Structure 1
Amino acid sequence: MTDIFKDIESEVQSYARAFPVIFDRAQGAYLYDTDDKAYLDFLAGAGTLNYGHNNPVLKKALLEYIERDGIAHGLDMHTSAKEEFLTNLNELIFKPRDLNYMVQFTGPTGTNAVEAALKIARNVTGRHNIVAFTNGFHGVSLGAMAATGNSHHRDASGIPLGGVTHVPYSNYMGEELDTVKLLENLLEDSSSGLDKPAAVILETIQGEGGLNVASNEWLRAIEKLCRKHEIILIVDDIQAGCGRSGNFFSFEESGIKPDLVTLSKSLSGYGLPFAVTLIKPEYDTWKPGEHNGTFRGNNHAFVTANAALKEYWSDDTFEKDVQKKIAHLTTRLKKIAGKYDKKLIKQKGRGFMQGLECRDGDLAGKICKYSFSKSLVIETSGADSQVVKCLCPLIITMEELDKGLDILEEAVAHTFQKELSIAS
Structure 2
Amino acid sequence: MPAAVVEVKVPSAGESVTEMQVAAWNAAEGDTVERDQVIVELETDKATSEVTAPTSGRLTKILIGEGETVEVGDVLAQIEEGEGGGESAGDGGAETAGVASTEQKTPNQSASPQRGGTTADPRREEATASAPSAGKGSGAGKGAGGHVMPAAKALLDQNGLNASQVSGTGPGGRVLKEDVQNYLKNGKKGELVRADAPAAAPMTTGPEGGEPGRAVKRQRMTPIRKKIAASLVSAQQNAALLTTFNEIDMTAVKEARAKYGEAFQKKYDIKLGFSSFFVKAVVDALQNIPQVGAQIDGDELVYYDYCDISVAVGGGKGLTVPVIRNAETLSFAEIEQTVADFGRRAKEGKIGLDELQGGTFTITNGGIYGSLLSTPIVNPPQSGILGMHNIVDRPMVVNGEIVIRPMMYVALTYDHRVVDGREAVTFLMRIKESIEDPGRMLMEV
Query: TM-score range with shorter-chain normalisation?
Result: under 0.3
- TM-score (norm: length of structure 1): 0.20
Q: Radius of gyration: which is bigger? A: 2
- TM-score (norm: length of structure 2): 0.20
Judging by fraction of residues, say which structure has more strand.
Answer: 2
Judging by fraction of residues, say which structure has more helix.
Answer: 1
